[in-house]
Structures are given as structure tokens and as C-alpha cells.
Amino acid sequence: MNSKLYRRASTHDINIVLNIGLCNAMEWSNQLETFKGCTLKEKKIVLSEFGIAFVLVDQAFKTAQKSVDKGFWLLQNDTFLHTDYFLGVSKADIQGNELRFQAQETVKKPIRQRRELKAFINSAYYYPFSKSLGKNAVAFVMTMNLVVRDQPSQTENGTFIDPTELVIFAENATTGFTVRTPYMRVTPHEVCQMITIFATAQLIPNVKSISMVGNNGMADIPFVIPSYKKRDVVVCISPLFVSEQWQNFLLAVHIYKKYGAHMNLYLISAVTSFYDLMKEYEKEGYMTIQPWIKVTFPGVPITTADPHNEIEFRNQAACQTDCLLQFKESARFVTFLDLDDVLIPRIAPTYVEEFQKLMDGKNKLAYMTYHKENYDVTTMRDSSKFSLTNMFANLELKHLVSDNEKETRGVPRREVPFWGWNLSKIDETTLLQRETGKIVVDPRNLNYTWIHFPPEMPTGLEKYTVTENVITHLKTIFWTDQQSTNENVEPPLYYDNSSARIITSKEIQELEDDLRKMIEKPRISKIYSKLPNNHYYRDLVVNCYNDRYYRYDHAGRIGEMKCPGPHLCGFHQHPKITCMHVNATHIPMKTLHPITYYYATNPYFTGDIGCYSH
């Protein structure tokens, strides 16, 4: 599609087009002997009927030739009408003589012709029944190039009008069904070109196929039925890439199992031995590895859609929304954590009891936010000397700001990263705030979420900020060769400077016993000895993120920030380190208007790609 600009039609343009239609009708009618024999009055009656028909046919043909978006109508003189043509015009004025003046006012703002929209379908779930979405519902998570990059000024050259609906066609064994549904923007900012969206619609029973419909065709898409297996709590771990942190994993996976949660870990790539360890834990039922496939549009130039450089943090918002939808009918609660975040129940013996206790007696909640407290931890690099007991013994609290500073400087709690802030209100105290927390969701009350929280609160629901407990965030991890000789391990202190502990000695021992039980399994024992004893890629990523993202974020220098994520980093391959990396089948798709839909199939892990974040 070329970038030609089309001017909004004035009443003069409409009169021109009507005149063209009348002339065409006259020319055609004069070929008919019966028309020639009509009186002038009779000819006027015929032309008044068929002149409009010629206008409609001519304009319909021109509009179809240009493949224009729904709602646009191209006229013969290269102007256009749109469904918003009469916005602001009263019914009386539309019917009266004021119409001409109102129509002329719309000429002032031209509009740019349709651009190419590309949507990658991260997931499509079909729910035969759902407590929140209804019967025979479909839910989509997509990534779309909704943010315009490097375009001329809107005031000089017009603006883009994007479609606000998706059109879905579903079939079962006996019938077909078409429905239009709006999509919701999940990403609350425009720092990146690629935006996560969510959409849902009610279909028909026993769906066999689902297609996305365009003005010029349809695209069949794959879909799955989500999990209905009952679980108390699911912990969704954000996508790992070039991961070496096996110690974090062992701490987290044993904690989640002990307190009644199932870990659903999204994976892009990991050092081979660490990947093998996770696969064994998956076989034992501790967790699930979910391949997190990259967004790509085969054959589409990056000037149209750039999913490599213009996607936020490994598409984490899409990942978390996918996890929420996947376990919507299965889990009582869903929470979203990073691998270095550990939540230990404090006011109840299990996660589900703590979450339920926090929600009881409050207005209906969409989600709860747990704050994070930073800890440094020293852990053994040699797997033969590693223990969870030792790891707990070496947890050291590290406030971002001391309690005295918080009190004297009145530092509030930071709820969002800086690119989601009103920049005019950032001051010195803002820069010292606590790191953004994580949320626990009742999946019946929420359908989608961004990285830290939903972009909007569902009608009639509220949120709750938890003060009774915090997330233990392993902010900095040191690998050491020196084993502690202290046999009397004291559990780490809770962050509030009281004598409270974040976990008891008895619980630590139970976790250690569970770890030893797993290590004694022959398959795991064999892998255990091969686990990484150096953190090559972790250092690379930490240094890169600090240099290219966090130093701007923490200083509020938003204008200097690029779309954040591992694409900012160079992953120099180490000759002695191999990784397992996700791969899948991506196929080129026929261009549809207004949106072309892409997807991937047959995900698998391979050692042939290398250690990369995509």
C-alpha cells in the first residue's frame, strides 16, 4: 500500500461525485430505446433512482481496488468519507440545512491511508465453559505493531486510524459463526512499537476451527483448551534466557512445592546442564517448563514491524497474560514472579490459606500487591557443596533506602517503573523508592495483566496492598568457593528490624531434606555434577541492563531510554558453554486487511541455536 494521503470529502466533493454518477447514468440510459422515448419528467424519475446506484457502484469499485479499512469510502475524486463524518452533528441538523456547514468543517483534518498491521498470536484458548468468560469463549493474547515509528507529523500529514475490533469466524460440525469483538491494550505505554493486546468473544459449542477474518480473506489459527486440573496456586515465572542460576531455581522450586504452589516456568534458553536439571524436576511433578516462542513475522520488513528491537522485556506482559488465561479455570490463585523472587507464607501455613485470609472481609479484589525487599545472598558455586540451608544462612537484608532515610525524607512506595509515570511529578524522593512489587490474582476477576499490574481496574473491583508479608528478592547473588563452617544456622530476619524470621529452622530443614531426596535420584545426581560453576552470561546481562536501561530508569531520564529488553545486549558466545534454546515453526502468511495474523507451531528445544535471548 502506498503512502498517499487522501483528503476528507467536503460537500463540494460530494456534489461532484453525484454529478459524475448522474452523467454516467445518463450516458448508460441513452443507450436504451425505451429511455429515449420517455418524457423529460419520466427521465428525471429514472435518473433520480439510478443515478445514486451509479454513485454507489463507482465508489464501491474504487474502495475495493484500494483495499481500504472498514469505515472508509473512497470517492471518485480521491477524497474519502468515514463513519465519523457526522460526529458532533445533531439529528435535527443532519436533517436540515445546517448539514452543509457541518460537513465542510470536517475538511480541515486529512487522514493517512491505512498502514500494515501485523499481529502475532501468542496464544488462543477455547473455553467450553468458564466462570468468568462464559460458555464457548475464546481468549487471545497477541502482540501487534500498534505504535507508529518514524512517521511525519500528524498535524501536517494526518493520522492513522487503526481498527478497534477483531473479526472471528468459528465452525463446528454443523454450522459456522462470525463475531466482532474489541481488543484491549495490555501495554500501558508506547515506549515500544510492539503492544500486547487481549481479546475475548463467545463462540459456538464444540468448536472445530477458528479463523481470523480480514476484508480480503481469512486465516485459520491454532487454539487449545486450557487446563481444568484443579490447583490451589500457580506461580508464573517470567521468561528465562541464557540462564545459569540453578541455585535460585532450586531454592524457588522447593519452596513453591512445600507451600502448595505449582511453578509454571517460561523458558527461552538456559545452559544445557541447568535445562536438563529443570526437565528432571518437571518429570517429578515439581514444575512445568513452557517454551516461550519469539515473535516474528516472516517476510515482513522491520520498517513495518520490528519484534526484535521493539518488544518489551521478552514480551513479558504477553507471557503473564498467557499464564493467567491458561490457568484461569484451574487455579484458585495465580501469581507472577521472577526466578529471583521468593514468597514465603507468613500469616498462614500455605499460599492458598494466606491469600484467602488476606482477601477475606474485604471488598471484591481483582488482585493484591506484595512489595519486595532486597537481599544479598552468597551461595556455593560447586554443586557438590551446595545446600539450601547454607543459602538461607547467607541471606543479608539490603534496603534500597535505609529506614531512617525513608522516615526523614518521606519516601513513598514506588508502584511503577518510570516509563509509566507522570514525568512532571518525579522528584528526588521518587528516585529512592522501593522496587516495584508483584501481584497475586484471583483469576476469576481478571483477564489480563501487564508486567507489574493490570493497565486498568475491572469495574466494581479493587486492589489491596499487602502489609502483612513481603517478597524476598535475591537482588545480588555471589558465588563462592568458601563453605561456611558454622553449624548453628540462624534463619534470616524479616525486613522490619524486628526479631521475626522469614522462615523457621524446621521449615529450612524440611526444604533441605526434600532437596537431598531429589539429588539422590541417579538421573539428577549425574546432571548435578555438571551444573555451571561460573556465571558468564549473568554478568553480561546484569552489566548490559544497568548500562543501557536501569541507569536511565533510576534517574528518571526517560527521553534517553529505548525499548527495554535483552535485545539491547550483545550475547558473545563462550566456546565452552552450550545452551538449549527454544525453536518453533514460523510460516509466512497471506496479507490480510486490516490485520495480518501470524503464529508459531511445534515448539521444541534445541542445542543448535546457541546462547541467545531470542
Q: What is the mean pLDDT of each run of 10 residues along the chain (614 residues)?
A: 55 65 70 75 69 63 60 66 50 42 39 74 98 97 89 44 88 95 95 97 97 94 97 98 96 98 98 98 98 97 95 96 98 98 96 97 94 94 94 84 40 40 34 73 97 93 96 92 73 82 95 98 96 91 86 80 88 94 96 96 97 92
Same domain for 121 and 105: no
pLDDT at 45: 72
Rounded CA gap, 505 and 523, in Å?
A: 29
Length, in residues, of the chain? 614
- Domain count along the chain: 2
Rounded CA gap, 27 and 580, in Å?
A: 72
Q: Of 198, 51, 49, nearest to 125 (Cα)?
A: 198
**Is residue 214 situated within a structural domain?**
yes
Domain enclosing residue 61, as ranges: 5-112
Rounded CA gap, 63 and 75, in Å?
A: 8
Rounded CA gap, 147 and 140, in Å?
A: 19
The pTM score is 0.78
Contact 199, 140 (CB under 8 A): yes
Lookup: cell for 202? 463467545
Rounded CA gap, 571 and 43, in Å?
A: 78
Same domain for 122 and 104: no
Rounded CA gap, 333 and 324, in Å?
A: 9
Residues 6+ apart with CB under 8 A from 579: 242, 269, 270, 271, 272, 275, 607, 609, 610, 611, 612
**Is residue 176 situated within a structural domain?**
yes
pLDDT at 363: 87
pLDDT at 328: 98
**Is residue 65 situated within a structural domain?**
yes
Residue 213, domain CATH: 2.60.40
CA angle, corner 500, sides to 261 and 336, nearest 5?
Answer: 30
**Is residue 163 situated within a structural domain?**
yes
**Is residue 17 situated within a structural domain?**
yes
Residues 6+ apart with CB under 8 A from 376: 395, 396, 398, 474, 475, 476, 477, 478
Same domain for 121 and 107: no
**Is residue 525 situated within a structural domain?**
no
Same domain for 200 and 130: yes
Does the bond joining 594 to the residue before it have cis omega, within 30 degrees of 0? yes
pLDDT at 406: 41
Same domain for 128 and 74: no
Residues 6+ apart with CB under 8 A from 262: 231, 233, 234, 235, 256, 287, 288, 331
Same domain for 156 and 105: no
Same domain for 122 and 44: no
Q: 186, 221, 256: which is the final residue of a domain?
A: 221
Same domain for 127 and 189: yes
Same domain for 100 and 20: yes
Lookup: cell for 268? 527461552
pLDDT at 581: 98
**Is residue 227 situated within a structural domain?**
no
Same domain for 67 and 106: yes
Element holding 157 (H helix, E strand): helix 154-157
Same domain for 90 and 127: no
Q: 61, 87, 112: which is the final residue of a domain?
A: 112
Residue 282 φ/ψ, nearest 5 degrees: -65, -40
**Is residue 53 situated within a structural domain?**
yes
Q: 88, 112, 136: which is the final residue of a domain?
A: 112
- List the strands of the sheet with 111-112, edge to edge: 72-74, 79-82, 5-8, 111-112
CA angle, corner 220, sides to 219 and 222, nearest 5?
Answer: 135
Same domain for 86 and 133: no
Question: How many angstroms separate the Cα of 470 from the Cα of each of 3, 85, 371?
Answer: 53, 54, 5
